[in-house]
Structure 1
Amino acid sequence: MVTKTEEFIAKTFMAMADGLAMGTIGPRPKIALTGMGSELGENNVLAGALLAAQKGVDVSYIGTQEHDGLRTVFAADAQEGHRKMEAMLEAHEVDGAVTMHFPFPIGISTIARVVTPARGRQMFIAAATGTAGTDRVESMIRNALYGVITAKACGIFRPSVGILNIDGARQAERALRELAANGYDLRFAESSRADGGSVMRGNDVLQGTPDVLVTDSLTGNVLTKMLASYTTGGIFEAMGFGYGPGIGEGYDKLILIVSRVSGAPVIAQAIAYAAELIRGQVFQVGAREFAAARKAGLAAVIEKYKTVVRGSDGETAAPPKEVVTAQLVGIEIMDLEAAVKLLWKQGMYAESGMGCTGPVIRIAENNAAAARMILQQKGYLA
């Protein structure tokens, strides 16, 4: 006859065996998911949540529908959904969140995770949304660091880093090699092409040559979309893990991005990606990597290699802070800092940010029209 103690032990070992098989040993991560705004409908997002819940994640679904096995937090629209998501993160009701079209502050970029078609390798694209800095080369240097942090949190001990062959690639490469020479542990990938090198070609993107592919966020966004939806003609993202977590120094909210055309499989993978980052202690990994990079002279290296931003004025002080709910779009990334400071000079509090379609200036609703006129007159907006 089986005793209650033996039954308990048997159930415990079965749970451990299931956890090892599914990679879910330890507390179940709690992830919030917003469902409004998808071009494929809320049912598609809900289906992704259910797939993730079956894999051992506690999902809080923020939307208008409910389903057994999911905690539902009702919200009428995407704006209310974001407010409730951020409140849940602040209150530590959830460990992380997955959402669409979230405007990260400048200094934060997201690290996408894709499956490359030639060999089925996973690759991190640094970055896919957001922007790590207002300077192109500075952004790529920081993106490399953010990609390394994310890859390490996902279990890659020494990820290889390659730089996509775009404007600024050679400056970014020199800067990263100088950082490595100063003592920061950085392993460079080698191109699959005959002439080699750590600057990656299109062939390397398809093959997944590096663990971390460094690029600017707009190029990375296009690459992520293509690798996610090339099998569907671009109307439905069927592969990969979405656009990834917002990473940046001092940023301690785990928010991952999916597209408004991400299918249920991608949404489920994005939630699993968030859970993996929680288990991999991404913020602790980030703290160690940032400390090591600073020790190797990160600030001096960035200052040495970054380009000059048009019209920037480091002495312009910000007016008193206001609630900024309006967004001005259409700003060139290289002009973003100068445009914000121009508004400060006019007594208008403004913040820079990055949405899914590019840079934004965030400003109070009552100042939005006047700010747009000023920026148009100075040539920052069409």
Structure 2
Amino acid sequence: MHMKDKKLFSLLLAAIFIILSWLFRFFDYKVVANMLMLASAAVSGYNILKSALLSLKYKIISINLLVSIAAAGAIIIGEYWEAAAVTFLFSLGSFLESYTLKKTRNALKYLIDMAPKIAHVMKDGIVVDVPAEDVKVKDIVAVKPGEKIPVDGFVVKGNASVNQSSITGESMPVDVSVGSFVYSGTINENGYIEVETVNSGEDTTFSKILYLVEEAQGEKAPTQKFIEKFSKYYTPSVIIASIITFLIKRDLMMALTFLVIACPGALVISTPISVVSAIGNAARHGVIIKGGEYLENLGKVNIIAFDKTGTLTEGKPFVVNVISAGANRNELLKIAKSLEIKSEHPIAKAITSYSIDEEIFDVDDFAVVTGEGVKGKINGDTYYVGNRKLMANNGIDIDCVRLHEKRRGIRQNTCCCG
């Protein structure tokens, strides 16, 4: 049985014993109830005692030792419920810590799985698939539509639309062409490119981000450092104080009670669990926190300033408004949808989703103008859907559109002209 499964099994068994004990106590079977409480304390306290003895072997007085002595003391003075409660709650905290760490490791594994495994390397005009970490600097890597880019480097051939949100946080896919720099771990959403490798394997930007996350999980927050230092001195202090109490008062029950109520198990394990789970959960959602110190400082922040417009988005483009300059709005949407439905560009998908109820025209001579948009003929007339560069390169005057933008204060990314 796996260690985590053993912890869960002993925890459930201890909980069952506690529940049964309360039922027997309700029916006035105190002897049976006490035996069940003892059984619960034994089941949940076994690993605690084992860990305490192991720590003593290396001359470390751990919090597990304090819990073990407290539980034993509770049994001696006949407080079986206290013994069961102390060991059960401490075991529950330990299990939750293990569970949280597992979830955090899964978040890190999710990031690792995002890293490309295979690269299509061009060698003497032939494409050879090799492990991404084996790609060498200056190697030319081919990246097809829908694939992750396996290296950092410059585009030497082709055009594409790349989703760089995992690296730069850029909300919109970025159009890249010859000379553009691309990052490992980003996704080629549309187009074919060849990339000359600058960094590969552990030297890529994506790998460095992974390293930061791993390092952040090991970095301790100021509170965590304080708690660890606190527990180091607190445990022996409590044991000594308990002994002094017994020597002065000659009251064993008082000394053992002092031990029981002085167990700070939740305090000791709460901070590391909080820090590790927060960093792991943030990483899973694409937010990199450099360590516990920075996480703790976030609690003191009153205002957050973001450095550019468009950073906070839903992660995909969508149509906000349609401005028609000298054309019927519905007709404009039908033309745009008829052309964009043949394109795989993210903006094309946003337009077709917005005009989902519109019918489409038959399109002839359809063509993708990479990095600019699309064009095609509808009923003998040529139409262009794309950015300002596409319009300018085809001699189309879009001053009327700019005038509408200025009047309405709208920033436009796509034009549709015929």
What is the TM-score with the length of structure 1 in the denominator?
0.21
Query: Greater RCO between the two (CA within 8 Å, min separation 6)?
Result: 1
What is the TM-score with the length of structure 2 in the denominator?
0.19
Question: Which structure: larger Rg?
Answer: 2
